[in-house]
Amino acid sequence: MACFVGVYGMGVMGQSLALNISHHHYTLAVYNRDGDKTREFMQNKVQETDQITPSYSLKDFVAALERPRKIILMVKAGTVVDLVTDGLLSYLEEGDIVIDAGNSFYKDTERRMKHYAEKGIKFFGMGVSGGEKGALLGPSIMPSGNRDVFNDHLKQLLKDIAAHTTTGDSCCDYIGKGGSGHYVKMVHNGIEYGDMQIINEAYFMLKNACGFSNAQIADVFEDWNRGRLQSYLVEITSKILRVKDPCGTGELVDAILDEAGQKGTGMWTAMDALEKHQCVPTMCEAVFARNLSAQKDERVYAAREFGKQAEGQNLSPKILQEEISTFVTDLEQAVYASKIMSYAQGFSLLQAASDTYQWNLDLGNIALLWREGCIIRAVFLERIKRAYDEGKVVNLMLTDEFKDEIKSSVAAWRRVVIAGIAAGLYVPTIANSLLYFDGYTSEKLPANLCQAQRDWFGAHTFKRVDKPRDESFHHIWEQM
């Protein structure tokens, strides 16, 4: 009997997704360019009850699928996707469907869609979030491409294998045309970078400004996870801080080198925001923080040259014991307000992309797709959905859902940033989230002087506050 769907790529994510599909009673074929991986998967992971057919050649893999063929690619983003899709082309027929479920750049996805369309083959870009566990138990799924093909051939499968909320809603839905699925996943990852760095800075301040042990910091995060900051990332952070080092004494986190890796999706988000003239400092600073962390040897040298005890710095001492409780309360407010800013930036970027490419993104629905299964899942996302249900959103910070909380947090937020800077601690996302708030809520900024400078050296012209905005002016600032 022909299989309903095929999975190409037997890495960790491909194996987990294949098992997820099988557990939902769909027949599937699997293939990997290195046949040993397929054999290992079949021997070690697949049960007799799983309806999985292994294939050891592309020809056999494609032949094992019912028409129209549906192939999910779980391969590394970049040139590998092009190599795989080019190899598939000679075996596919008009009407077949190929779904790229990796972390591909959305513009690459749109290029591949056009290439496949010339052959009559439907290509989909599909963001998948949740890691290995999510792929197995139910990830957040963000597909884009032809809506009719999605509804007729993919909708039921993808909704079944996605994560589900406590009310039974699937964390998968059609995103839009073109590469919008991969774009939404890219911004999701940018927000993820921001979330993680905000949490990292809270940990850093509790450890270095308050002098807390890892166990005490874990207690703080556990407490936060019972409130409005409840999220997957806060939850796992509280658990990470309690794990003992199997190779030494103390907690494992203290034995981990402070160099953070990255795969590029955060950088893509920052670069895309710049192209669209959007302001996303929280995400950008999170990327920069990882870049700076990688410069370990330089940082060690610089620390010796400009140590925190160096003459003239006059850094404030740690938070006084009697002030620690108040500081922890302030820090929760600063973290929450920074989180709102990060999501406000991310959703503004999504709206800008939707307008630019005419994707007609349903941003409230996208928030719910992230409610379960993905790395940034949090109760907070339900509030974003409510904010969009209330009407048009210019910026999340301006909505009734969030603005009162922001107002009540600003004083504490400022105290936290001041304390961090006074102690010489690196807290870029919390600080720049506050600066974003200050800039966005400023009726006037010093851009008038910037424009005067531009007009002086480049005759770029300027607009006047007392004239219509469609009129431009140039001034001869200095006689030659």
Among residues 70, 110, 122, 192, the one annotated as catalytic is: 192
In whole angstroms, what separates CA 441 from the centre of its chain? 25
Among residues 185, 207, 339, 385, the one annotated as catalytic is: 185
Query: Is 264 annotated for ligand binding?
Result: no
Query: Is 454 annotated for ligand binding?
Result: yes
**Contact (CB, 8 A) for 54 and 82:** no
Query: Is 116 annotated for ligand binding?
Result: no
Query: Is 263 annotated for ligand binding?
Result: yes
Query: Is 188 annotated for ligand binding?
Result: yes
Query: Is 170 annotated for ligand binding?
Result: no
Burial class (CB in 10 A: 0-12, 13-18, 19+), 335: buried
Write out the two tokens for 255: 């034995």
**Contact (CB, 8 A) for 405 and 336:** yes
Query: Is 26 annotated for ligand binding?
Result: no
**Contact (CB, 8 A) for 390 and 400:** yes
Label residues 278-304 b or e (16+ Cβ within 10 Å = b). Answer: bebbbbbbbbbbbebbeeeeeeeeeee
DSSP 374: S
Helices within 118-179 (DSSP H only): 131-137, 147-149, 155-161
Query: Is 189 annotated for ligand binding?
Result: yes
Query: Is 130 annotated for ligand binding?
Result: yes
Query: Helix, strand, or coil here: 358?
Result: coil
Is residue 155 annotated as a catalytic residue, yes or no?
no
Query: Helix, strand, or coil here: 34?
Result: coil
288/344 Cα distance (integer angstroms): 19
Is residue 332 annotated as a catalytic residue, yes or no?
no
Query: Is 203 annotated for ligand binding?
Result: no
Write out the catalytic residue numbers.
185, 192
Binding residues for substrate: 103, 129-131, 188-189, 193, 263, 290, 454, 460
Binding residues: 103, 129-131, 188-189, 193, 263, 290, 454, 460
